[in-house]
Structure 1
Amino acid sequence: MGARSRWLMISVGLGILLNPLNSSMISVAIARLQNVYRLDFTVVSWIIFSFYIASAIAQPIMGKASDLFGRKKIFLTGLVVSFVASLLAPLSPNFGWLIVFRIVQAIGTSMMVAVGMAIVRIHITEKQATALSVLSIFLSGAAAIGPFIGGVLIHWWDWSSIFFVNIPFVVASFLLAWRMIPEDEPPTSVARNMSFRKWLDLIDASGILLFTVGLVALLVGLLSAKSSGHVSLWHIIVGLIGLVLLLAFVRHELKTTSPFIPLRTFAKYPAMTWVNVEFMLVNVLFYSLFFGLPSYLQMVRHVSEYQTGILMLALGLCSLVASPIAGRWIDKSGPRPALLVSAVLMTFGSVWIVTLNETSPVISVCLALAAFGISNGLNNVGMQAALFKSSPKEIIGVASGLFNTSRYLGTILSSLLIGIVMGGKFSFEGFRVLGIILTVIALSLVFMSRQRRESGQLQNSNEAR
């Protein structure tokens, strides 16, 4: 790999790491933001919801936009949008404006993730697999060390520093990308002559609107009822509006020719559908711990952000160490054994959370973190391998998009689960209930992994006959 290719990879890597970094750093800032803006836990949790909902919508849209307007243009525009959001977010006069800038930040960072891999795949022709694996390290490494970086920054400065820290990465990536990413080819005549209405149809603007408004309305109805402590007529109406809009979204996606989420693919390929369901549950488990444990340490055990970041580092390091080991194991034995071990580890970690009490040594949470970290490393590789195994080659691009959608739905559901369990105040009792729920989900994953293994053995025996 030549020097220019290496610098191209670095320029892309510095850009794409911003999305996972900003999604994970916020986990140690929840308690601080709650105190600064004097809000209850349910309201502050929208700092998580908003980022993941915006990312889930923006990434597929920007992927389509790059085919029309050029990948370099989308990448550089994403850096500019991220720069503006990172600069203005700390200056927010209230929490509402912070959410707005957080959404803008999610859109900007998603623009880079949507096209970063494609840029490397197109312009780096030698040792391409190595280049793509290095970019994966940028993504997974940023997510892994995000809580630690966030804890250190908040300890020495303030919560605003988790936004300002993006600026050096943005500037470095922009300067390198401006020089290293080759210019885009001129747009085709189809792209030049495409009307705005045609563009809206291409990205399925109607489906996106139904999905966004329906999901937000349902979340508002559920979380507001839990936060206030009683269910009012307003909560029911808002929740029902959200549910109706989501049902309308499903109906629309099954009919439209260019769906935002191709639901018909799920019905056509049940094996791939089950992989996505498992992946969604895995992310519910992982991110419930990822966002719940820092709040438990800070609000219940009164651990500082700095110490919380250090403890959370166990999660990231175990995940990073487990991933390459999982790759070699899965190459030899397939994804089933690794996914079964992962489900068992998540069950152990969830049960361990339930056994914690208010006087347990703080360091003991590292056992749960290590269990979830190792399982995350196994899942990162195992679920991807299971997806490729269950998906026909002709739809692998669509399958990868659905896979990422399942990840985002899992993260959104994890935030919803924490919000419903905790309500307005994060408590030890709520944290224990959360552990019980996670244990049930983990046990269901053990069952699903065993069923996958048995069905695979049956299929192999039938093929042998």
Structure 2
Amino acid sequence: MLVGSALNPVNSSMLAVALIPIGHAFGVPPSQTAWLVSGLYLATAVGQPVVGRLVDAFGPRRLYLAGTTTVGVAGLLGALAPNLWVLVASRVLLGFGTSAAFPASMSLLRSESERTGLKGPGGVLAALSISNQAIVVAGPPLGGLLVGAGGWQAIFAINVPLSLVCLVLGALWLPRTVPSKGTIRTDAAGMLLFAGSLTAFMFFLMDPVARHWYLPVLGLAAGAVFVRRELGAGDPFIDLRVLGGNAPLLATFVRQLLAHTTSYALIYGYTQWLQDGRGLNPAQSGLLVLPMSATAIVVTVLTGRRGRVRAKLLVGAAAQLLTCSALFMLTDRTPLWLLVVICAVAGIPQGLIGLANQNALYEQADPARMGSSAGLLRTFMYLGALLASAAIAAFFRDGATSGALHGLAWLLVGVAGVFLVVCLADRSTALTSPDASPVDPDGPPQGDGPLPMTAERPISPWDLPAGHPGVSFLTGPTALFALTRDPRFSYCLYVPKHHRPDGPPRPLLVAVHGTRRRVETLRDAFAGFAERHDCVVLAPLFPAGITGPNDVDSYKLLSPAGFRSDEVLLDMVEEAAARWHVRTDRFHLHGFSGGGQFAHRFAYLHPDRLASLSVGAPSHVTLLEPTTTWWQGTADTDEQFGITTDPAALRDLPIQLIIGELDTGTAELPPHAARESAPAPGSRTDRINALRENWIAHGIDARLDTVPGTGHDHIAVLPAVQKFLAAHLAP
């Protein structure tokens, strides 16, 4: 993971010392060699989210191996390039090839963390930050040595052996994973619009003259169409709706953009000035920026296992602003010692900011979309690099002189100032603090001693001192708790990391599993949602075999088979309220497939306990039919449950019915020993439509959401479910 993740940043920065020699070799100015920078970043800006989604679908191993193979091919093409534009093409290919390693690494970290129970892998994230951030500033020294030894072609040829090393290590050590069964569609139109908008803006920014007025107009038009399309697409290239609903994650992406606009402009602009303005050769200029790399690595090692994201950002922002201001002091006679000091100070933000944003993303992103989110973090990083390359092309049009560097410095001071203001304004980073020392839930007690599970009352997170290992059992994804009243049943929760007893009780969302009972997967799919909306998610487990060796359906029917699953759930809710600060008079209920069966039947009996209801793709439905007995109808609910069903009580309840567009298969036999005829025959689509029509006939306003391009896939419909629930989540 570390070697593969380093391929993109090291290729990004090695080029800094080779731009002047390449320009001389092909007889082109810096404004044209800047396309070697922009070409790679355009490719990565598009490639990172695409590859990130493919990682989520097919697993990290396959994408990692395919990407590193592409890197080797791109390196060979660049080393043999006969002209500048073939060289640009090799950089584009290199950008796509290096897009796989980072999202694959973040996805693998998250899946391994959930598999082993180790939380907050601060040490591994710190190591990744070294390979992905500090290595950026190690690139110029390495590039200088390679150019000095073998010419500019050597910085391309080095990718061939590097890719072979990654292939061997990846094939030997990366775990094989089972690909997701969900359908992944490539939003080709979205990709083209995104790339077209960026390219139009880049052409203009690299030559911003009046006669090119049409380029930003085209860029804005393509961008507007892109936003409109992505907001309405069922399977978008970039899920802008997810970004809009996750303000802390969006703030992290904005910080990434601003910080790397400055850092890449420093790396490329400063290194070119050392050669053109200060008169050093590539090897000398590469060695002169070595203190930047050393400082970045030292800072990352010292702070990598500390979770204080906000402190890292503020110190990094201040150091970045100081470095940009120091550029005004530089002339062709500046002493070498001052150049070394400036490089050393520039390494501080390199070591802090990337690590802080990476830690923030690990905590803020939905676990099920970790690969996509990591890809987007890199996309915003390279959008910053694109802006930096455009700025360099504009200011260095006539060469990397001291005057041109001072002009660039004015822009960088402004961007660094905005970054500092954004860091000060974003208070959410004060709450983002991955555990520095992961606790193994199956290991021996640590810290202040074991969790006192024998206490007379349930222990809450705030009962324990900060840093106590027991907190890890009670926040984030919790352990499975046996229900006190009936230990045959259990439940787990996702509790926001900084859940406190202050203020009003937090909303409670109950997510009910289907027949396969993948309760922890379901719980984890709501993790990011719970953090964003400060709600607690409870996922009950109704085990198979409760009423007999082949019983998988009894919980869906609520009754007759020996236990009342509706009352079991209500007991779980009350038990959760004894430990966490949640609202229990009304809660939000969602179920899919078998869980959808449970959810709508629960609503018939307990509408007064629900704040909203989301019913997904039930295989069988119970209609409000006063002449038909349970489970097909509701004629005898008073006899079965002691409750008379009242359709009027459902009329004010926000209700969502949801199903995939392609969920048209015929379900299995009805879940009842008598196997009576189902009240709504046909496919799940037919049945959910019959349920809605029945409810409308009783004055119940239930919306029906159909998710395009999706079959019977719970994870695929969750964005639409979460959008509905978010609209009704109120403390």
TM-score range, shorter chain: 0.7 to 0.9
| Structure 1 residues 204 and 304, CA gap change in structure 2 (3 angstroms) | same
In 2, Cα distance between the equivalents of 1:455 and 1:118? Answer: 22
* Pairs within 5 Å for 1:28-427: 28-69=17-58, 71-119=60-108, 129=121, 130=123, 133-183=126-176, 185=178, 202-225=185-208, 230-232=209-211, 235-327=212-304, 330-331=306-307, 334-387=308-361, 399-427=373-401
* Worse overlay, 286-295 or 366-375: 366-375
Could you say what secondary structure the match of 2:151 adopts? coil
Q: How much has 1:278 moved relative to structure 2?
A: 2.4
The Cα shift of 1:247 comes to 2.0
* Deviation (angstroms), 1:374: 0.6
Q: Which amino acid aligns with 2:193?
A: L
* Corresponding letter in the other structure for 1:335: V
TM normalised by structure 1 equals: 0.83
Unaligned runs of 5+ in 2: 432-497, 505-731
**Deviation for aligned residue 1:353:** 0.4
> For the structure 1 residues 451 and 19, does the alpha-carbon distance in structure 2 shift closer, same or farther, using more than 3 Å as the test?
closer
Aligned to 1:444: 418
String of CA shifts for 1:200-256, please: whole Å, max 9, x gaps: xx232111100101211221133234xxxx532xx2223322221122212222222
CA pair 391-67 structure 1, distance change in 2 beyond 3 A: closer
**Which amino acid letter does the alignment assign opposite residue 85 of structure 2?**
G
- 2:721 maps to which residue? none
Cα pair 2:145 2:286 within 8 Å, conserved:
yes
Aligned to 1:17: 6
Amino acid at match of 2:343: L
Aligned to 1:351, what secondary structure does the other structure show?
Answer: helix
1:455 CA drift (Å) = 11
Per-residue Cα deviation, 1:392-440 (whole angstroms, up to 9, x for no partner) = 7787666544433321221111112222222353322111011122112
Higher relative contact order (CA 8 A, sep 6+): 1
Change (3 A) 1:445 1:13: closer
CA distance in structure 2 between the aligned counterparts of 1:183 and 1:397, rounded to whole angstroms: 16
How many residues of Structure 1 are paired with residues of Structure 2 in the alignment?
434
Question: Residue in 2 aligned with 1:4?
Answer: none
CA deviations 1:160-212 (Å, max 9, x no partner) are 00111122222222233334445554x67x57xx6xxxx5xx23211110010
| DSSP-derived class of the 1:289 partner | helix
Distance change in 2, residues 1:209/1:424 (3 Å): farther
Counterparts of 1:306 and 1:50 in 2: how far apart (Å)?
A: 24
**Preserved CA contact (<8 Å) 1:342 1:379:** yes
What's the CA shift for 1:274?
3.0
Deviation at 1:298, TM superposition (A): 0.7
Letter in 1 for 2:197: G
- Aligned counterparts of 1:104 and 1:219: Cα–Cα separation in 2: 18
In structure 2, what is the Cα distance between the partners aligned to 1:182 and 1:265? 29
Question: C-alpha distance in 1, partners of 2:38/2:429?
Answer: 36
The aligned amino acid for 1:283 is H
Q: Which amino acid aligns with 1:362?
A: L
- 1:257-295 CA distances to partner (integer Å, 9 max, x unpaired)? 222222223433334433332221111111110111000
Structure 1 residues 222, 87: CA separation in 2 closer, same or farther (over 3 Å shift)? same
The TM-score with structure 2 as length reference comes to: 0.54
**Which structure has more helix as a fraction of its residues?**
1
| Inter-partner Cα distance in structure 2 for 1:357 and 1:113 | 38
The Cα shift of 1:386 comes to: 4.5
Q: Which moved more, 1:412-421 or 1:24-33?
A: 412-421
Corresponding residue SS for 1:420: helix
Distance of aligned partners of 1:403 and 1:70 in 2 relative to their CA distance in 1, 3 Å threshold: closer
- CA distance, structure 1, for counterparts of residue 107 and residue 249 of structure 2: 23
Using the aligned pairs only, state the percent identity.
28
Residue number in structure 1 paired with 2:406: 432
Provide the secondary structure at the position in 1 that maps to 2:206: helix
* Higher strand fraction (1 or 2): 2
Distance 1:388 1:66 in 2: 16
Counterparts of 2:311 and 2:17, CA distance in 1 = 33
Alpha-carbon offset, residue 70 of structure 1: 5.2
Instruction: Give the aligned residue type for 1:361.
Output: P
Find the counterpart in structure 2 of residue 6 from structure 1: none
Distance 1:144 1:379, change over 3 A: same
Could you tell me whether the CA contact under 8 Å between 2:103 and 2:372 is conserved in 1?
no
Q: Deviations over 1:350-404 (max 9, x none)?
A: 1110122232113312232222211221212333344566667787666544433
In 2 relative to 1, CA 444–407 (structure 1 residues): closer, same or farther, beyond 3 Å? same
User: Aligned with 2:289: secondary structure?
Assistant: helix
For 1:398 and 1:119, the matched residues in 2 are separated by 12
Unmatched 5+ residue regions in structure 1?
1-11
Structure 2: distance between partners of 1:108 and 1:393: 24
User: By how many angstroms is 1:51 displaced?
Assistant: 0.7
Q: Contact 2:231/2:239 (CA < 8 Å) preserved in 1?
A: yes
